[in-house]
Amino acid sequence: MNTNLNYLISVIWFILWIVALVDCIRGNSPNKVVWIIVIILLPFLGSILYFLLGRSRAI
């Protein structure tokens, strides 16, 4: 049971990382290069920070 939970968490984390990276690359943020470096070097924390602070909010 514990192995299945670890596998699920790993898959969710990987999907979050990929979505953050793709969203950053496709976006038009002036700090795009900085955010890409942060997401790659700090995968989990960088992804969360990007969605909380770096993503431009469209109205």
pLDDT digits (tens, 9 = 90+) for 37-50: 999 999 889 999 99
CA distances from 28 to 1, 6, 16, 36 (A): 42, 35, 20, 12
Helices 32-41 and 2-26: crossing angle in degrees, nearest 10, is 160
pLDDT digits (tens, 9 = 90+) for 1-31: 678 889 999 999 999 999 999 999 998 888 8
**Sorting pLDDT into bands at 50, 70 and 90, what band is 34?**
very high
Q: Domains of the chain: which residue ranges?
A: 2-54
